[in-house]
Chains A and B, each alone.
Chain A
């Protein structure tokens, strides 16, 4: 488990991370969402021990991370612009990381290079941006660390590769003690892979929630009522997050279980009523609007 409590980091006059407390459970896929400059990279760099927080503490499996090789041995950090030795080939990079991570699986790495059609003897500086990203993921996965920190790793990958990487992650999650932490500014990319997410904005955490739990507890109802009073009574009875009216059609985002909500709506005899699924994006828009943020401005 990674536990960050009240961490702050300032670069000169800029407060990059302020009072962030996040808990990342073992075995879950944690998504870190935020706009550019929200503090995602700074947070990840602190989690992997590159940066020292000005205040607060970060523990990886109850061990402080900063300057602690023991704890760091369980973490592999893929930065948004991964460093490769000059003129190095993928094989040379494999040997480089093998020196630091003794459990690096060289055989698997070479197999995966073939599967991803990356030439093991080609110089990395001739690789495209996407190929470099793929390589960084393969190195990270084959390092066999418990935690894999990915800073905007999915950006630059084509949809096929994105799916391939996601399936590798899924495999790792099934087969071993593996916790990926993925930072991105794109909610849609994380939706189908993350178990829980944290939203960072201007250095602070807006929220941290379990994705499934969120999905089960918030819904949008599309309904039409014959008279206005039924409509008003229903809105008062429901735990409304957001209500919108387009002509006679009501679009109501409501907290609660699907069946319970539907039962309450039906009790007011609607002309038409339907419960719609919410995308991760919509859930966040709704949730953050509640706490006073216009998330459309934050994320998109």
Chain B
């Protein structure tokens, strides 16, 4: 056993040897802590109106919070790497190793003394700076019990971040025999799982059209840098939802990190013990790991190179991808070989390894390209499932935004909301639709865009074939708790598919999971609703009684809404529910995307009673003027070659290739107003309602109680007034004549 005396002597020796290290750390944290704190204090004193919180709140919840103070964590990461590299760099020097390993001291003791001294080099300056910050806070009246507790928590987080990077860098140093390779190894070890997950994500995205994307949390698992980011994100999440910050929210994850640190440290000790002295100066300390290291670096980097070169080529061509892989493979494989041999002449030294890695790459490409494992066609059996959520993309996607307690907003997408709240496992049509979608295995054609592609017969053929294509996402929850997501392409022009889709959409469980107002609505308080009809917009204030009544009728009618109605009827308007904020009359977010269909008679009646009439239309008398414009490519001047033909009759300042007709007579206005459709009505359902829109744009100028207003509309081809085409045709002819005359 090493005596305590010698252990402390070894620490002291290391301190003397690396005295530059604590000095540098002291300076770095001075810039990161005191200087920043003083800067904030000064700003808060000079511009108090810029800050809506107190100085005490700032110190406790912003400065000493990992949710807000990323800068110090970044510094700590760098400090961790520097301490480990400088402390264990002697492992790369034969001279130093000969001396240290000939001494009467065990290797574990040498390791631990270095470990402790490196840690103290970080810890002592950081504690000193934190204390100085506290003193500065006392001097500025910014101290509070909460602030002191958070300062201690802040120290704890910095210690965790330091030890995580410190221990992983030590592992890297023990695995290698050269400082440059140690740094490279540290970068790889610190972020490898994230890199692999992202490369995997790119591959899945490229080859599997049913891939729905992975969560960033997955990407961060096991990677030290990722774990640190995750720790801060947890803190941020808590911070957004609460007015203050407490370190309790990250305590469980901190314990996980602590456990990882212990594991990393034990691995470090083991590697240190196993590492032979003669490894100093060699690129890799354990030659047995060489083929493994090469494979885990060369394969993902080659794939990433393929994806990158395809991106640079701006092409969907598989050829570019393959070229990129081959190029990347040759470069990285040779570079790795040169690094391992430290000799450029040895680039092809391990040709067998080259062949092995190349074969692995070919295997991966084949598996992905030809979906050998059946990723796109996978549907779990009912026996395996404990739940299922569906999101029919583009069909009344509800946008949800809620104010958080910390002055921010939380936006939830329709997909996220549905996957979190829906369970439609009891409806057999759901799995039938999933199986049909998987079996049909449809996908949108990938093509490279070029000018004029719209006119090519191939493109038109694709458009025709894919006219009925829609996307639908499934989240299968298996009995073991694993969630599997897929996004299929379905063809709604297929009657069987459409029938199954209707059965899913009309399922009350689907709607309860798809529309927040049907489930969470009761728990929330809304201050008013924004109403938009074809011609008018307005707001209706809600009291709790009014809200309850409105919900009762709207929920019932929304539950009765059929897919057929959505696909064939134009909504009468939109309704947006505005949430009440934390303080009275304060904005608290919204739920947007709800529709009012003609069948929602009770809702329309009730809202009319509350003050907004969805049946009220704009009259010809209220309308001052209507302009109908159409883009016309024929009006490009052949000599100048640019847009010169004009609707000068309306626009005197610009010459465009747009024909604009102005209508002021009552009869024409009447006819146009009856047919004009406000595009906003179809937002959120246009994917399923095929309006077959004509090319014209309609602007209606009207007088709204003495205020000049204008609305934008369009026509459906079926409902367009007859005179519009004739008028525009005539106008074009005249303009062409004028052009010829000029």
Q: Which A residues are closer than 8 A to B by beta carbons?
A: 11-12, 45, 48-52, 67, 69-70, 72-73, 75-77, 79, 81-83, 85-86, 96, 99-101
Residue pair B17, A67 in contact (C-beta under 8 Å): no
Within 8 A of A (CB), among B64-106: 93, 95-99, 101-106
In the complex, which residues of chain B have a beta carbon less than 8 angstroms from the beta carbon of A77? 98-99, 102
Residue pair A100, B103 in contact (C-beta under 8 Å): yes
Residue pair A49, B106 in contact (C-beta under 8 Å): no
Please judge, given known A-B contacts A52-B276, A69-B2, whether A12 and B287 are in contact too, CB under 8 Å.
yes
Residue pair A85, B17 in contact (C-beta under 8 Å): yes
Residue pair B99, A83 in contact (C-beta under 8 Å): yes
Residue pair B104, A82 in contact (C-beta under 8 Å): no
Min CB distance B309 to A, Å, is 37
Residue pair A69, B104 in contact (C-beta under 8 Å): yes
In the complex, which residues of chain A have a beta carbon less than 8 angstroms from the beta carbon of B99? 77, 79, 82-83
Q: Mask for B1-45, Cβ within 8 A of A = 1, else 0?
A: 010001001100100010000000000000000000000000000
In the complex, which residues of chain B have a beta carbon less than 8 angstroms from the beta carbon of A79? 95, 98-99
Q: Which residue of B lies closest to A81 (CB)?
A: B95
Of residues A12, A79, A82, A99, which shows the largest number of chain B Cβ atoms within 10 Å of its Cβ? A99
B97, B98, B104, B107: the one contacting A101 at CB < 8 Å is B104
Further pairs besides A11-B278, A50-B277, A99-B13: 9, Cβ < 8 Å: A12-B287, A45-B98, A50-B97, A52-B276, A69-B105, A72-B103, A77-B102, A100-B6, A100-B104
Residue pair B98, A70 in contact (C-beta under 8 Å): no
**Within the assembled complex, what's the spacing in Å between the Cα atoms of A73 and B105?**
9
Q: Which residue of B lies closest to A16 (CB)?
A: B278
Q: Which residue of B lies closest to A151 (CB)?
A: B98
**Within the assembled complex, what's the spacing in Å between the Cα atoms of A161 and B287?**
43
In the complex, which residues of chain A have a beta carbon less than 8 angstroms from the beta carbon of B287? 12
Q: Which residue of A lies closest to B90 (CB)?
A: A83
Q: Which residue of B lies closest to A92 (CB)?
A: B16
In the complex, which residues of chain B have a beta carbon less than 8 angstroms from the beta carbon of A73? 104
Min CB distance A283 to B, Å, is 32
Q: How large is the interface on B (under 10, 10 to 19, 20 to 34, 35 or more residues)?
A: 20 to 34
B9, B106, B277: the one contacting A69 at CB < 8 Å is B106
B9, B96, B97, B101: the one contacting A99 at CB < 8 Å is B9
B9, B10, B93, B107: the one contacting A67 at CB < 8 Å is B107
Please judge, given known A-B contacts A67-B107, A73-B104, A101-B104, whether A86 and B17 are in contact too, CB under 8 Å.
yes
Residue pair B6, A51 in contact (C-beta under 8 Å): no
**Within the assembled complex, what's the spacing in Å between the Cα atoms of A52 and B97?**
13
B2, B6, B17, B102: the one contacting A49 at CB < 8 Å is B102
Min CB distance B16 to A, Å, is 8
**Within the assembled complex, what's the spacing in Å between the Cα atoms of A41 and B277?**
13
Residue pair A70, B104 in contact (C-beta under 8 Å): yes
**Within the assembled complex, what's the spacing in Å between the Cα atoms of A79 and B287?**
26
Min CB distance A96 to B, Å, is 6
Residue pair A75, B102 in contact (C-beta under 8 Å): yes
**Within the assembled complex, what's the spacing in Å between the Cα atoms of A70 and B276?**
21
Residue pair A72, B102 in contact (C-beta under 8 Å): yes
**Within the assembled complex, what's the spacing in Å between the Cα atoms of A69 and B277?**
16
Of residues A11, A12, A45, which shows the largest number of chain B Cβ atoms within 10 Å of its Cβ? A45
Residue pair B6, A99 in contact (C-beta under 8 Å): yes
In the complex, which residues of chain A have a beta carbon less than 8 angstroms from the beta carbon of B104? 69-70, 72-73, 100-101
Residue pair A51, B9 in contact (C-beta under 8 Å): no
Of residues A11, A12, A50, which shows the largest number of chain B Cβ atoms within 10 Å of its Cβ? A50
In the complex, which residues of chain B have a beta carbon less than 8 angstroms from the beta carbon of A75? 102
**Within the assembled complex, what's the spacing in Å between the Cα atoms of A76 and B103?**
8
List 23 A-B pairs, Cβ < 8 Å.
Answer: A12-B287, A45-B98, A48-B102, A49-B101, A49-B102, A50-B97, A50-B101, A50-B102, A67-B107, A69-B104, A69-B106, A73-B104, A75-B102, A79-B98, A81-B95, A82-B95, A83-B93, A85-B17, A99-B9, A100-B6, A100-B103, A100-B104, A100-B105
**Within the assembled complex, what's the spacing in Å between the Cα atoms of A86 and B10?**
16
In the complex, which residues of chain A have a beta carbon less than 8 angstroms from the beta carbon of B277? 45, 50-51
Of residues B13, B99, B102, B105, which shows the largest number of chain A Cβ atoms within 10 Å of its Cβ? B102
Min CB distance B277 to A, Å, is 5
In the complex, which residues of chain B have a beta carbon less than 8 angstroms from the beta carbon of A48? 102
- Which 6 residue pairs are nearest across A and B when measured between Cβ atoms? A72-B104, A77-B102, A73-B104, A69-B104, A83-B95, A83-B99
Q: Mask for B539-583, Cβ within 8 A of A = 1, else 0?
A: 000000000000000000000000000000000000000000000
**Within the assembled complex, what's the spacing in Å between the Cα atoms of A100 and B102?**
10
**Within the assembled complex, what's the spacing in Å between the Cα atoms of A82 and B33?**
43
In the complex, which residues of chain B have a beta carbon less than 8 angstroms from the beta carbon of A45? 98, 102, 277
Min CB distance B316 to A, Å, is 47
Within 8 A of A (CB), among B129-178: none
Q: Which residue of A lies closest to B282 (CB)?
A: A12
**Within the assembled complex, what's the spacing in Å between the Cα atoms of A83 and B104?**
16
**Within the assembled complex, what's the spacing in Å between the Cα atoms of A34 and B482?**
67
In the complex, which residues of chain B have a beta carbon less than 8 angstroms from the beta carbon of A49? 101-102
Q: Mask for B245-282, Cβ within 8 A of A = 1, else 0?
A: 00000000000000000000000000000001110000
**Within the assembled complex, what's the spacing in Å between the Cα atoms of A76 and B104?**
9
In the complex, which residues of chain B have a beta carbon less than 8 angstroms from the beta carbon of A101? 104
**Within the assembled complex, what's the spacing in Å between the Cα atoms of A51 and B2?**
20
Q: Which residue of B lies closest to A50 (CB)?
A: B101
Min CB distance A11 to B, Å, is 6
Please judge, given known A-B contacts A70-B104, A99-B6, whether A51 and B276 are in contact too, CB under 8 Å.
yes
Within 8 A of A (CB), among B610-643: none
In the complex, which residues of chain B have a beta carbon less than 8 angstroms from the beta carbon of A72? 102-105
Q: Mask for B100-119, Cβ within 8 A of A = 1, else 0?
A: 01111111000000000000
Min CB distance A186 to B, Å, is 22
Residue pair B98, A83 in contact (C-beta under 8 Å): yes
In the complex, which residues of chain B have a beta carbon less than 8 angstroms from the beta carbon of A96? 13
**Within the assembled complex, what's the spacing in Å between the Cα atoms of A131 and B95?**
18
**Within the assembled complex, what's the spacing in Å between the Cα atoms of A12 and B288?**
11
Q: Mask for B216-238, Cβ within 8 A of A = 1, else 0?
A: 00000000000000000000000
In the complex, which residues of chain A have a beta carbon less than 8 angstroms from the beta carbon of B97? 50
**Within the assembled complex, what's the spacing in Å between the Cα atoms of A77 and B102?**
7
**Within the assembled complex, what's the spacing in Å between the Cα atoms of A49 and B104?**
9
In the complex, which residues of chain B have a beta carbon less than 8 angstroms from the beta carbon of A82? 95, 99
Q: Which residue of A lies closest to B17 (CB)?
A: A85
In the complex, which residues of chain A have a beta carbon less than 8 angstroms from the beta carbon of B278? 11, 51
Q: Which residue of B lies closest to A48 (CB)?
A: B102
**Within the assembled complex, what's the spacing in Å between the Cα atoms of A49 and B99?**
11
**Within the assembled complex, what's the spacing in Å between the Cα atoms of A280 and B13?**
45
**Within the assembled complex, what's the spacing in Å between the Cα atoms of A142 and B105?**
19
Of residues A76, A81, A85, A100, which shows the largest number of chain B Cβ atoms within 10 Å of its Cβ? A100
Q: Which residue of A lies closest to B105 (CB)?
A: A69
Q: Which residue of B lies closest to A10 (CB)?
A: B278
Q: Which residue of B lies closest to A47 (CB)?
A: B102
Min CB distance A27 to B, Å, is 21
B10, B13, B17, B98: the one contacting A50 at CB < 8 Å is B98
**Within the assembled complex, what's the spacing in Å between the Cα atoms of A83 and B97?**
9
Min CB distance A291 to B, Å, is 31
Min CB distance B741 to A, Å, is 91
**Within the assembled complex, what's the spacing in Å between the Cα atoms of A150 and B53?**
71
Min CB distance B21 to A, Å, is 13
Min CB distance A148 to B, Å, is 12
Please judge, given known A-B contacts A50-B277, A51-B278, whether A83 and B105 are in contact too, CB under 8 Å.
no
**Within the assembled complex, what's the spacing in Å between the Cα atoms of A79 and B10?**
21
Min CB distance B87 to A, Å, is 14
**Within the assembled complex, what's the spacing in Å between the Cα atoms of A263 and B46?**
114
**Within the assembled complex, what's the spacing in Å between the Cα atoms of A48 and B100?**
11
**Within the assembled complex, what's the spacing in Å between the Cα atoms of A175 and B10?**
32
A67, A81, A99, A100: the one contacting B106 at CB < 8 Å is A67
Min CB distance B450 to A, Å, is 57
Q: Mask for B273-314, Cβ within 8 A of A = 1, else 0?
A: 000111000000001000000000000000000000000000
Q: Which residue of B lies closest to A72 (CB)?
A: B104
**Within the assembled complex, what's the spacing in Å between the Cα atoms of A77 and B98?**
8
Q: Which residue of B lies closest to A51 (CB)?
A: B277
In the complex, which residues of chain A have a beta carbon less than 8 angstroms from the beta carbon of B96? 83
